[in-house]
Amino acid sequence: MVDSSSDPRPSEQFRHLYTPPKINGSFTGKHIITVEQFDHRDLQTIFDVSARLRDRVTAHDRDLVNLCAGKLMASLFFEASTRTDMSFQAAMRRLGGSVVTASNGVQFSSVYKGENLADTVRAAGCYADVIVMRHSAIGSSYQAAYYIDRLNERIVTHGAVISGGDGIGEHPSQALLDLFTLVDLKKGADNLTITLVGDLLYGRTVHSLAKLVALYGVTNTKLCFVSPASLRMPDTIIDFLTKHNITHYETTDLYEVLGESDVIYWTRVQEERFARRADYEAVRDNFIMTPEVLNQAKRDVILMHPLPRKNEMGTPADHDILDANPRAVYFQQMENGMFVRMALLAKVLGVSDADLL
């Protein structure tokens, strides 16, 4: 949507120029750019804090607003969002912090006058303690972190960048909420068949989730990837799983794995990423979840979806039936997004475990 081409280096190049630091037990001030920064202990911390914050929100705990009082989050969405943007904003406000956004998203910011990504991010970095950013270019969150690190040496506010999705790259906070939901509902992540279905090439949520399952560490769990041949999981992710000894299986036939799946993660074909409309139309309807399809899965399967949904979840009448099925957990997943983002913001902003747990 927004051009950052006035920077001579393409965003993708910043994946080589900037290496996000491992969390390694300490979140304070760190940019959150890729799930590769997390290990099992870090994930357990985020999950424990998320569960605790969920309890506290449920109990209408009035002290929550003291956790991030006085802190400021900038929301920079160069690409469309409902859940990620709103849940980060809601999370920050529930913790007592404040939110600034550029006028009407970034549409009426100086991006409109042709300002580039780096300067837009620098502006946010001069005002906010944390910057949540979504952009259509792969590597854009690395690029933002790279510039903010250089800016932080020269200004008094020290902002951290949290990626809200970088093109077809990653969506780390989504994977955190996905895995939190999965572990919560399945009482762990071992002994499961987890099936990811749909656009595995352009879908950034599945890239992050597959890697995060590996980093969490699982025993006797298999990842199945179901997609049209033209939208299969990128080799970089497959190699990552192989390196982490995660059993995985790729197929174009849903029915090969539907009956054995404990978790089904359905995804939208990412229409906006296709260069040619005809290529999108050729695969658009390959996998459509309907009540009839769900009925062929295990009784205790959970059906997840990052949302938004289009025709890959059938008709509006199908939605009504699916939504009423207790196996469909995408609304819990959506709500968990706020608790997980509260946990992430609090940890990055340096709130102590004593105050959080």
Q: Provide the mask over 121-160, with x wherever binding to ligand CP is found by CB under 6 A and - wherever it is not.
A: ----------------------------------------
Determine which helix (DSSP H) or strand (DSSP E) holds 247, and give its type and residue range.
strand 247-251
310 binds ligand CP (CB under 6 A): no
Q: How many CA atoms lie within 13 A of 107 on its CB side?
A: 4
- DSSP helix/strand/coil, 75: strand
Cβ–Cβ < 8 Å for 90, 342: no
Please identify, among the stretches 12-20, 81-89, 178-186, 269-277, the one whose residues bind ligand CP according to the rule CB under 6 A. 81-89
Q: What single-letter amino acid sits at 132? A: V
Interacting partner of 204 out of ligand ASP, ligand CP, none (Cβ under 5 to 8 A depending on kind): ligand ASP
94 binds ligand ASP (CB under 6 A): no
Active site residue 83: yes
| Beta carbon of residue 243, minimum distance to ligand ASP (angstroms, whole number) | 24
Which one, 97 or 198, has the nearer CB to ligand ASP?
A: 198
Please identify which residue in 54, 204, 207, 347 interacts with ligand ASP, judged by CB under 6 A: 204
165 binds ligand ASP (CB under 6 A): yes
- Alpha-helix residue ranges (DSSP H) falling in the chain: 14-17, 40-58, 83-94, 117-127, 140-152, 172-186, 204-216, 235-243, 277-283, 291-295, 316-324, 330-348, 353-356
Contact partners, residue 324, CB within 8 Å, separation at least 6 = none
Which one, 45 or 84, has the nearer CB to ligand ASP?
A: 84
Please identify which residue in 125, 169, 306, 314 interacts with ligand ASP, judged by CB under 6 A: 306
Tokens of 162: 């949290």
Please identify, among the stretches 12-20, 22-30, 75-83, 148-156, the one whose residues bind ligand CP according to the rule CB under 6 A. 75-83
| Beta carbon of residue 171, minimum distance to ligand ASP (angstroms, whole number) | 5
| Token pair 């900038």: residue | 74
308 binds ligand CP (CB under 6 A): yes
Active site residue 134: yes
- DSSP helix/strand/coil, 189: coil
Please identify which residue in 132, 148, 289, 307 interacts with ligand CP, judged by CB under 6 A: 307
How crowded is residue 192: how many other Cβ atoms within 10 Å of its Cβ? 20
C-alpha span between 104 and 83 (Å, rounded)? 16
Interacting partner of 109 out of ligand CP, ligand ASP, none (Cβ under 5 to 8 A depending on kind): none
Q: Which of 56, 171, 232, 305 is catalytic?
A: 171
| Region label for 165, one of left (φ > 0), alpha (ψ between -120 and 50) or beta (otherwise) | left
**Interface ranges with ligand ASP (CB under 6 A):** 165, 171, 204-205, 268, 306, 308
**Interface ranges with ligand CP (CB under 6 A):** 81-84, 174, 306-308
Active-site residue set: 83-84, 113, 134, 171
